Structure 1
Amino acid sequence: MLIAVDAMGGDHAPEEICKGAIKACSEYEDLELALVGIPEAILPHVDNSGLVGRKLHIIPAEEVIGMDEAPALSIRKRKNSSLHVAMQMVKSKEACGCVSAGNTGAIVAGGVLIVGRIKGIDRPGLGVPLPALNRVTMLIDVGATVRCKPINLYQFALMGDVYMRTIQGVAEPSVALLSNGEEEIKGDELIQEARKLIKNAPVNFVGNVEGHDIPIGNADVVVCEGFTGNVLLKFIEGTGSAIYSLFKEELEKRFWSKVGMTFMIPMLKDLWVRFNYERTGGTPLLGVNGAVIKAHGRSKSEAVKSAIGVARNFVIKKGVEKIVEELSEGGI
């Protein structure tokens, strides 16, 4: 299995991307990776791995799409960029999928303009698995489609349901719509119209949920439009970092807290494992005709390895094919 990796995308590229690729190749025997980017920048980080030419293949691409560049324009104009070339490898079936920690908008634009949408899907959705009290909750969309129509939210609900069943193994995922209240009358016109559609969809729709329901785990799939989802996701990340910093600050002030901390270390390690985004690694761009995985822009080697694992798992479990099949059966 060959997966294309945008070696130049992300805050710590190419060094951490290359380290993550080496880790992934060491962990998965069936995996080969195409590191796409500037060869002179990539080679120093992989030359001594013993994997070049065997499990790691360097694919030249002399341009890089910056994190602050206009997404659609950059993906159209920079045809020799690492992201564009990686996407082309997916479109041509040379690669089974691609992974990038680069510009989110450019990844979405590349997924639509290069890889192409699944028939019947108007706009793609980024679905991120979030740890909750008693389950993993997929929040979709978290930034792929900002100005949504009701049909977009309906399609996100269908794709989220398929993903949780076929990839995450949840037998009958509950699907909810994010709103400003649980009552049916809550929400703006978009939410009201989307609710009518999802209510009649072939999914286990449980109605509206509010923001506080997500970490509690009141649904397996929570559907929202991309602007709200992106703000919510970053708020969750920021809250986690703030709590961690406050905890350290208070701990340093109190002697007995430091003593008690000795007994809490195993529990805190377990909690860190559950909530560490590096374990999840990547977010699938659902609705495009290929395995396209968006890794966190700050990804270091462990998160990159995990994102590649997400892509591999998505390909093995035929994620795209399952979505196509089930949407076709549903008449979309």
Structure 2
Amino acid sequence: MGVNPGIKAAIGIIAAVLVAAALAEASQVFAPLAAAAFIIAVVWPIQKRLQRGMPKLVALAITIMITVTVCFALASLAAWGFGRVGHSLLTDIARYQAFYEATVAWLDGHGVSVAALWAEHFNVGWMLRATQYVTGRVNTTLSFWVIALVYVMLGLLEVDDIRRRIERLENRTAASVLLGGGAATAAKLRRYLMVRTLMSAVTGLLVGTFAWVTGLPFALEWGVIAFVLNYIPFIGPFIATLFPTLLAMTQFESWPAVFGVFVCLNIIQFAVGSYIEPRVAGNMLSISPMLVLFVIFLWSFLWGLFGTFIGVPITLAILTFCAAHPSTRWVADLLGGADQVKPGKLQDS
């Protein structure tokens, strides 16, 4: 006698909730592992090609060096842009003070006591807690990437061994799903990063061009900042929009001009990030654009800032493995598209 479909659905929902809770509670364990799996999928073709003509450890050292260099270059671009802009903001501190005093006077004249709100919420204790939080986040981030890098090094050394062990499995269906799904997932993750890089370049170009046309200083820096931060969905574009608006407050004399800068930058970010990119990524990677937005919010809730970046790759992996087995292919057909891996395909990727 079969199990009632309603009971099966309830069990599935409960299991999903429990898994999500476990992932959230053990984020310090699973998040670096997910980051390492993503990096391995992206850089494995380099490692594979290099180790054909040199010892595996030498190839590993070169691959890790390339990976770290690319990540460091992106971080350096962001640091350069923020450093240039930050220096300008500090030199204009007097203008910001005058702007703040004029705003406070206007608000006080309309019955809004900013001084009282500032004293209540932005006291020394708040500043101390904020400093401690930022320091803790920096330490956590450094530990995160050190652990992820160790996972990457060990994982790259074991890719071939894991594949051979899977090929020797007596359960041929499981072996086909693991090999086909794994190869297809790696290919899709590389395509995802390509799309993300392309959309980041488009965003940076549009933001830099807008800043140059409107006469906003540091047009090149704003373009570079928008390019780098666009790798972090929603939060990155928000930061890339906020800081040019702050600078516009000291450069333009009227509120309408400042508001226009803010609106135009948000239109650029929205058009690329919420309209063009989900559709380009959805068409190339066989995933629903609405699902793209949903998983970003979901994984941000589970894993914070890192979850905003890794959410779509994780979902791609889940859908690809679902498509590789007949019993779960309906999930990929419902949430993805027709371009899904079949059992036994792409085993040599």
Which bracket does the TM-score occupy, shorter chain normalised? under 0.3
- Give the number of the structure whose residues are more often helix, by fraction: 2
Q: What TM-score comes out, normalization by structure 2 length?
A: 0.26
